[in-house]
């Protein structure tokens, strides 16, 4: 691609044109002039306004923030090299290996989009939620409108929950595994200021976290069953599996229910609502 005066806009348009709606979990509808994603579709996936995306593509805005660039990268399903190019075009330092990575490989993005029947989400090494599908929003509430700090499982587990939060029954095994994960993250990314701030804040707020941290608690994630208290359908007891992505510190979390039971019926009720929310 040739270098242009508005390289950021040219990159966004080119990557938008090559991105298939099916790959991002969208149904193609109507007569499409765009070869790939429409502007409103990309804007919705990235959590920005259509007007702002137009300004970026036209070069009237050229310095988006790091969170916006990361969101655009995920929505466009860029690989690591393309993600670095996008950051540089936006005047930002390309992500390094010294801080917790938040880049989600394209294959993982497609996996999340296409597992539409189940709540699926991807977390970083510090257990901050990075991306999710419509079923995840239906089960846990849409995270898009919350501050990034409120999307962290460590905070949600050990600190007082906000009023909107969907709560889970306490689980000592999960608590120990989360603290063990956080210890590994500190070792792997010692220069990450946000990670150190997270640990300090949770330690100040939670005696239980301080106890586990001081004890050198170790644990590992295995398949488990969680009871989720939902404001519309009541309690659901779901199987929770945490999958790791080879070559990265990402965690993919998937909730499922055995067919034929009340929990599966409640999950299906949420799935139908999620489909309507996406297509309406």
Residues 187-237 pLDDT 10s: 888 888 889 999 999 999 999 999 999 988 776 777 788 888 888 888 899
The pLDDT of 154-166, averaged and rounded, is 69
Query: Best-predicted range by mean pLDDT among 93-102, 104-113, 238-247, 255-264?
Result: 255-264
CATH number, domain with residue 21:
1.10.260.40
Residue 1's pLDDT band, with cuts at 50, 70 and 90, is very low
Residue 140 C-alpha from the chain's centroid: 13
217 and 125 co-located in one domain:
yes
Q: Mean pLDDT for the chain? A: 84
Dump pLDDT digits (tens) for 4-22. Answer: 456 889 999 999 998 888 7
> Are residues 113 and 83 part of one domain?
no
Which CATH number characterizes residue 125's domain? Answer: 3.30.450.180
Q: Is residue 126 part of a domain?
A: yes
Q: Verify that 170 and 240 share a domain, yes or no.
A: yes
Least confident range from 94-98, 265-269, 270-274: namely: 94-98
Range of the domain at 48: 7-89
Residues 146 and 71 both lie in one domain: no
**pLDDT on residue 162:** 53
Give the mean pLDDT of 73-86.
89
The answer to whether residue 75 scores a pLDDT higher than 80 is: yes
Q: Are residues 134 and 257 in the same domain?
A: yes
Q: Is residue 156 part of a domain?
A: yes
Q: Say whether pLDDT at 142 is over 70.
A: yes
Q: Which of 55, 89, 123 is the last residue of a domain?
A: 89
Question: Same domain for 115 and 250?
Answer: yes
Give the integer Cα–Cα distance in Å for 67 and 147. Answer: 11
Centre a 10 Å sphere on the Cβ of residue 107 and count the other Cβ atoms it contains: 11
The answer on 188 and 67 residing in a single domain is no
- Residue 1 counted as domain residue: no
Same domain, 39 and 160: no
Looking at the domain assignment, is residue 165 inside a domain? yes
Residues 165 and 198 in one domain: yes
The pTM of the full predicted model, rounded to 2 decimals, is 0.75
Residue 206 lies in a domain: yes
Given this model, what pLDDT does residue 170 score? 57
Which tops the pLDDT comparison, 147 or 53? Answer: 53
The verdict on 30 and 168 lying in the same domain is no
Last residue of a domain, one of 29, 54, 89: 89
Same structural domain for residues 22 and 138? no
For the chain, the three-class secondary structure string (H helix, E strand, C coil) is: CCCCCCHHHHHHHHHHHHCCCHHHCCCCCCCCCCCCCCHHHHHHHHCCCHHHHHHHHHCCCCCCCHHHHHHHHHHCCCCHHHHHHHHHHCCCCCCCCCCCCCCCCHHHHHHHHHCCCCCEEEECCCCEEEEECHHHHHHHCCHHHCCHHHHEHHHHHHCCCCCCCCEECCCHHHHHHHHHHHHHHHHHCCCCHHHHHHHHHHHHHCHHHHHHHHHCCCCCCCCEEEEEEECCCEEEEEEEEEEECCCCCCEEEEEECCCCCHHHHHHHHHHHHHHHHHHC
Integer CA distances (angstroms), 237 to 18, 121, 212, 269, in order: 40, 18, 26, 15
Residue 80 clears pLDDT 80, i.e. is over it: yes
Is there a single domain that holds both residue 76 and residue 122? no
- Report the range of poorest mean pLDDT among 67-71, 133-137, 160-164, 169-173: 160-164
Is 99 a member of any domain? no
* pLDDT > 90 fraction of the chain, expressed in percent and rounded: 31
Residues whose CB falls within 8 Å of the CB of residue 33, separated by 6 or more in sequence, listed in order? none
Of 61, 89, 117, the residue that ends a domain is 89
Tally the domains of the chain: 2
Note the pLDDT of residue 51.
Answer: 94
Predicted pLDDT of residue 280: 46
């Amino acid at each position: 691609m040739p270098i242009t005066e508005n390289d950021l806009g040219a990159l966004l348009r080119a990557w938008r044109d090559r991105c298939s709606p099916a790959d991002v979990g969208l149904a193609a509808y109507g007569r499409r002039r765009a070869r790939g994603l429409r502007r409103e579709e990309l804007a919705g996936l990235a959590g920005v306004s259509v007007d702002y995306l137009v300004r970026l593509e036209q070069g009237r805005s050229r310095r988006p923030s790091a969170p916006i660039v990361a969101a655009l990268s995920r929505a466009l399903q860029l690989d690591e090299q393309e993600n670095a190019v996008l950051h540089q075009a936006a005047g930002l330092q390309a992500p390094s290996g010294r801080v917790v990575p938040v880049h989600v490989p394209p294959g993982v993005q497609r996996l999340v989009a296409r597992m539409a029947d189940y709540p699926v989400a991807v977390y970083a090494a510090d257990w901050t939620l990075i991306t999710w599908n419509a079923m995840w929003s239906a089960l846990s509430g849409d995270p898009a409108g919350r501050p990034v700090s409120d999307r962290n499982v460590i905070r949600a587990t050990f600190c007082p929950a906000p009023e909107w939060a969907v709560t889970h029954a306490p689980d000592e095994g999960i608590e120990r595994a989360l603290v063990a994960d956080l210890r590994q993250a500190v070792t792997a990314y010692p220069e990450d200021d946000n990670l150190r701030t997270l640990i300090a804040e949770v330690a100040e707020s939670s005696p239980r976290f301080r106890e586990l941290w001081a004890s050198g608690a170790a644990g590992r994630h295995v398949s488990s069953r969680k009871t989720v208290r939902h404001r519309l359908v009541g309690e659901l007891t779901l199987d929770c599996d945490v999958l790791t992505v080879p070559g990265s510190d990402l965690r993919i979390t998937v909730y499922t229910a055995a067919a034929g039971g009340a929990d599966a019926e409640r999950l299906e009720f949420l799935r139908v609502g999620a489909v309507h929310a996406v297509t309406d």
